[in-house]
Structures are given as structure tokens and as C-alpha cells.
Amino acid sequence: MWSTFRGMVSSRPRQAPGRRPATDLGAIERAAFRLFAVRGFEETTVDAIAEAAGIGRRTLFRYYPSKNDIPWGQFEAGLAHLRAFLRATPLDIPVHRAVHQAVLDFNHLDEAAIPQHRERMRLLLTTPALQAHSALKYAAWRAVIADYTAERYGLSPHDLLPRTVGHVSLGMALSAYEQWLDTEDASLPALLDAALAGLRHHLCEEPA
Amino acid sequence: MWSTFRGMVSSRPRQAPGRRPATDLGAIERAAFRLFAVRGFEETTVDAIAEAAGIGRRTLFRYYPSKNDIPWGQFEAGLAHLRAFLRATPLDIPVHRAVHQAVLDFNHLDEAAIPQHRERMRLLLTTPALQAHSALKYAAWRAVIADYTAERYGLSPHDLLPRTVGHVSLGMALSAYEQWLDTEDASLPALLDAALAGLRHHLCEEPA
DNA sequence: TTCCTTTTTGGCCCTCGGTGTCATTAAGTA
DNA sequence: TACTTAATGACACCGAGGGCCAAAAAGGAA
């Protein structure tokens, strides 16, 4: 899962000259989430996060391009995993099934990671500034889906169908997440399945 | 169409006491778009827009809650129209058809309005800050679709299916718009139809 | 050890979007 | 003319973000 923090302070090949990074990405994220939980996202200043993490404000901005990026954690790594999952999918599996499986895999959670992921997603989906910023993250996610869909169908990623599949896959995932946050009981995979099943019924099994 | 500027300076019932508004919303929008076209959105400061419109910076912020809202024009009016269209749709029309017709109506353009609307959408869909801000506008649009879908299906607007229909309808519309901006030839209604047809084929007419 | 090089760090200062406050101005009414 | 109400915009302030650069912390070479 993309939200799981893994990886060291830096992946620079050891043996390099110069000062070694002393900044711990995980520590920044933890400090930030602690502050967000207490004071809320908008009310927490970047200065406060930097101070809580024991680093300079300028250093924080060297690790995160913006305050809005902090709650996203290692999202890029998650995208790479998503790409790899799709690349490894056998070609005899229909495209829509391949994409759905990839979405399920992308959003798979270990039991222990659920509470933190809930908190992260609650923050991302209910904070206006983050709802807005998320559009940029979503665009990269959609591109992964669109690229795969285009390749499987022999189209360009800029054609209509791949783009539509990207948008619609994201839409289903987001509606499942919103539902997941609203209800205590349902599981995320079940909601992702239900979103797809509901959409198919809505679009395809009604009188035209 | 929501993008068409109509309506007067203010809709306050005449006969009210106090100074009458001297600010012309249309003039602000025109001045802003002129600057955006020349310098780009990010490079145009709010001060520059206010000066070009001949008003104070503070006054501009009284008419637009943020710089990002300027390119959206009278979007709220468009939402009201969308709601009215759906309310007026006969109940014997299947939900998915009603929604699709509403989307077509919402995005209907008079021939003469096409160039300006292209420019507006190009700005909204290619400027990162606006892509992000759009998420908030889209949420309101989705809510209209979700509310209608919920009512027709006898569900709560917070149930999974209405939310999914909202997200997916938006996704199709956005992929159609992206395609529309990329190509010179295709018409917007044709692309909206094609997005829906493509999705149905992708999801429903393939081996399970 | 001392110098030299490389890289991280963070301090300083600036720009710009956005907001609260408040005096001023332009209306209508008594 | 005096009073009320509403729009305007000047001023001051805050926070995000970025450019610049000097100080720190590593390595290797003399």
C-alpha cells in the first residue's frame, strides 16, 4: 500500500561525499499528523510542523514541495507499485478486470494499517485545501490507468476511452472511500466491488 | 450554459437604501481573461486584475472569494439550471438516461460561445492551481447528480450508488472535455456520447 | 591533522493570496 | 439638512512558498 511508510532517510548510494542527510521523513510525517489531529490541518502552520519535527522550515520545504503534500506520504512509490502490478497482469485477463484488480491491490490494507489509513484519508477527503490539492495526485494515478488501458486496447493514452477509464476508475474508488469513511462496518475491498457492480447495473442492465 | 455571463451587477431588489454597487462583474472577468491570455494565470497578480478592472483589490475579493474562482464565472447559476433540468425530467425516463441528458444540456454551447468556452476550459484544465481548485467546484456538481440519483432510486445521497454515479458522470464529462481541447474537429456533445458508449462497451460487453 | 570538496541544513528576505478593520463615499429616507 | 444603509478601498497583518547564501558535516588527499 502506498500509504505505508517504508524506505530510509535517503536512497542515495552510500559512499558519497558530503554531509549525510540528518532528516527523517517518517518523523516529519508523524509530527505533522500529530499536530493535524490536535489543531486541524489549516490551523497548523508549516513553522509549527518544522519545529515539532526539530528541523528548519526551509528544510521541510526541501523534502515536501508543499504543506499539502505531507499527508500524501510516499504516494509516488504507490504509483510505481500500481504500474508494476498492471505490467505483471496476464494479457488474457479482460482489461476491465485487470484494472479492477489493480485498484483492489492498490488499496489493499493490512489490518494493522487500517486506523492510520482511515485518518489519512479522512484528512485528505474532508479538508478543502487537500481536496483541491488531491486533484493533482489523482491526475498521476489516472495516467497510470490510462496508459495501461491504452496499451491493452492498442490506443494512444490521449484517446478518449483510456482517459474515460482512468477518470471512471478513480471515480469509483473515491466513492468507495467516501462510503468507507462514513460507515464503520464495510470493508474497503467490498465497497470497491460494490461500486463497480452498482455502476454496471446502473449503466447496462436498465432499459435503454 | 453556465459559462455564459448573464445577469446584472447585482440582483438586490431595487429601492434599497445605501450606495448602489458600482462594480461590474462582467468587466472584472473580461479584464482578468485578457491578462491571463497575455501573461498566464499564475503570473497575473490579483493586484493587476483589480487595477485593470479599475477597482480596489479588496473590492475584487468581495466579489470573488479567491483568484481561482474568477475563471469559473457564474458556475453556481449553472448548477441551479442543472438541478432544474433534472427536476423537470419525466420519471419514466431511466435514471442513467436522465443524467446523461442533463450532462448534455449542462454542456450545451451556442456556436458563438464556443471560442470563449474553449479558452475558459483550457485555462481550467491545464493550469495546476486551477486543476486543484476545480475539485471543490466539481464536488458541488457531483452533489447535484448524486441528489437526483438518490431520489430516483429511493436512496440517501450518501449511499454508495448515488455517489458513484456522481463521480462517474463527472469523470466521463472531464475525459470528453480533455479530448475536446486536444482535438480541433470533434464536437462536445459527440464526445460526451462517445465517452458513455465507450465506457458501456468497456464495462459491460466484454467477457467477465 | 589540515585543507579541499561535496552535500545538507537553515537563516534571511521577498512575493503574493487572502482576511479583518475601519474610515469614506454614495445613495435613499425622514 | 440630518439620518440610515450599503459599497468601496486603504491599511495592516498572516501564512505559504521560493531565491539566495553562509554555516555545518561529512568524505578524501596532502
Min distance A129 CA to chain B CA atoms (Å)? 8
- For each of the domains in chain B, give its residue range(s) and CATH number, in order of start: 74-203 (1.10.357.10)
Spatial distance from the CA of B68 to the C1' of D9 (Å): 22
The single residue listed with the C-alpha cell 483589480 is B50
- Owner of C-alpha cell 494493522: A112
Place of cell 508523524: A30
Other CB atoms within 10 Å distance of the CB of residue A206: 11
Of B42, B107, B45, B33, residue with least CA distance to B71: B33
Distance from CA of B167 to the nearest CA of A (A): 5
B8 pLDDT higher than 50: no
Q: Closest Cα partner for B176 from A54, A189, A161?
A: A161
Cβ–Cβ below 8 Å for B195 and A160: yes
Distance from CA of A22 to the nearest CA of B (A): 32
CB atoms within 10 A of CB B96: 23
C-alpha angle A115/A192/A72, rounded to 5°?
A: 45
In this predicted model, what pLDDT tens digit does every residue of B90-143 receive, in sequence order? 999 999 999 999 999 999 999 999 999 999 999 999 999 999 999 999 999 999
- Any idea what DSSP says for residue B92? T
Q: Which nucleotide minimizes the distance between its C1' and the CA of A12?
A: C7
Task: Say what the pLDDT of residue B4 is.
Answer: 66
The nucleotide closest to A15 (CA, C1' atoms)? D27
pLDDT in tens, B34-50: 999 999 999 999 999 99
Are the Cβ atoms of B175 and A158 closer than 8 angstroms?
A: no
Whether A48 shows a pLDDT value over 90: the answer reads yes
B202 interaction partners in chain A (CB closer than 8 Å): 95-96, 161, 164-165
Q: Work out if A62's Cβ lies within 7 angstroms of strand D.
A: no
Q: What is the pLDDT of residue A8?
A: 45
Q: In this structure, is the CB of residue A18 within 7 Å of any atom belonging to strand C? A: yes
Distance CA B166, CA B139 (A): 9
Residues in chain B: 208
pLDDT surpasses 50 at A120: yes
Q: Indicate whether A11 pLDDT > 60.
A: no
pLDDT value, residue B5: 59
Chain C, protein-covered positions (CB within 7 A): 5-12, 15-21, 25-29
Residue the block writes with cell 527523517: A24
B58 touches strand C (CB under 7 A): yes
Neighbours of B202 (CB within 10 A): 20
Strand D contact with A14 (CB < 7 A): no
What confidence tier does B52 reach under pLDDT thresholds 50, 70, 90?
very high
> Which nucleotide is at minimal CA–C1' distance from A43?
D15
CB contacts of B175 in chain A (<8 Å) are 160, 163-164, 166-167
**Is strand C in 7 Å reach of the CB of B76?**
no
| The pLDDT value given to residue B205 | 75
Q: How would you label B41-60 residue by residue, b for 16+ Cβ within 10 Å and e otherwise?
A: beebeeeebbebbebeeeeb
Nearest nucleotide (CA of A10 to C1'): C8
What's the mean per-residue pLDDT of chain B? 93
The string of pLDDT tens digits covering residues A57-75 is: 999 999 999 999 999 999 9
Of A10-14, A183-187, B13-17, B179-183, the one with minimum mean pLDDT is A10-14
Number of cross-chain residue pairs from A and B with Cβ atoms under 8 Å apart: 127
pTM: 0.94
ipTM: 0.93
Q: Which residues of B120-151 are buried (b: 16+ CB within 10 A; e: fewer)?
A: bbebbeebeebbbbbbbbbeebbbbbbbbbbe
B108 CA, C19 C1': Å apart: 38
Test B163 with A172 for CB contact under 8 angstroms: no
Query: Is A19 (CB) below 7 Å from strand D?
Result: yes
